[in-house]
């Protein structure tokens, strides 16, 4: 599956990276918490989020993500998109909510970049 297939499945808009739609996607990580994306996402994953601030792009770049998929119909501001262009991170936007987006992609064979976390973390 590549980004072009994802655009079709989710009826998504391509905001950045029209020329990068052949990029293959095998795994993904969905979260609105960038702290967790940084701690748990694996390289080469698609990051699915409802956050649109420019920090999402920098986080994706640090992690070598294959792209950003913004959910709930949000369109990031000009600044965020310019940064994505500069750092060469494809950005797609879909109107589906995070749950539906993840579920639809999973049904098409994309899996989580981690299945589950090793252990429960209880704070004393």
Partner 1 sequence: MDWAYQSSFSIEGGNFENAGKASIEIKKILKNLKISDEILRRTAIVVYESELNIISYADQGVINLSVTGDKILISVDDVGPGIEDIELAMQEGYSTATDRIREMGFGAGMGLLNIKNCSDELQIFSEVNKGTHLSIIINRMERES
Say which residues have a Cβ less than 8 Å from residue 120's Cβ, sequence separation at least 6: none
CB of 32 to partner 1, least distance (A): 6
Block residue for tokens 């739609």: 21
Task: Tell me: does residue 35 bind partner 1 (CB under 8 A).
Answer: yes
Query: Which one of the spans 2-10, 53-61, 67-75, 105-113 is the region binding partner 1 (CB under 8 A)?
Result: 53-61
- Number of residues in contact with partner 1 under rule CB under 8 A: 25
Q: Which stretch binds partner 1 (CB under 8 A): 6-14, 19-27, 51-59, 99-107?
A: 51-59
Among 5, 7, 13, 61, binds partner 1 (CB under 8 A): 61
Q: Kindly tell me which of 8 and 114 has the beta carbon lying closer to partner 1.
A: 114
Gap between the Cα atoms of 36 and 88, Å rounded: 22
Degrees to nearest 5, angle at CA 85 with 79 and 88? 135
59 binds partner 1 (CB under 8 A): yes
Contact between 2 and partner 1 per CB under 8 A: no
Cα–Cα dist 67/84, whole Å = 9
Q: E strands within the chain? A: 13-16, 27-30, 45-49, 67-70, 91-93, 111-112
Identity of the residue, 38 or 75, whose beta carbon is nearer to partner 1 in the bound complex: 38
Do β-strands 91-93 and 13-16 pair in parallel, antiparallel, or remain unpaired?
antiparallel
* Site for partner 1, rule CB under 8 A: 32-39, 43, 49, 51, 53-56, 58-59, 61-64, 87, 121, 123-124
């Amino acid at each position: 599956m590549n980004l072009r297939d994802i655009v079709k499945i989710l009826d998504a808009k391509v905001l950045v990276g029209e020329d990068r739609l052949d990029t293959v996607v095998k795994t993904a990580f969905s979260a609105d918490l960038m702290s967790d994306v940084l701690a748990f996402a694996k390289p080469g994953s698609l990051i699915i989020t409802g956050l649109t601030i420019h920090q999402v792009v920098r986080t994706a770049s640090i992690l070598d993500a294959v792209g950003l998929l913004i959910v709930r119909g949000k369109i990031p501001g000009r600044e965020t998109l310019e940064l994505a262009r500069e750092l060469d991170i494809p950005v797609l936007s879909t109107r589906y909510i995070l749950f539906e987006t993840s579920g639809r992609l999973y049904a098409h064979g994309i899996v989580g970049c981690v299945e589950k976390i090793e252990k429960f973390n209880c704070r004393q």
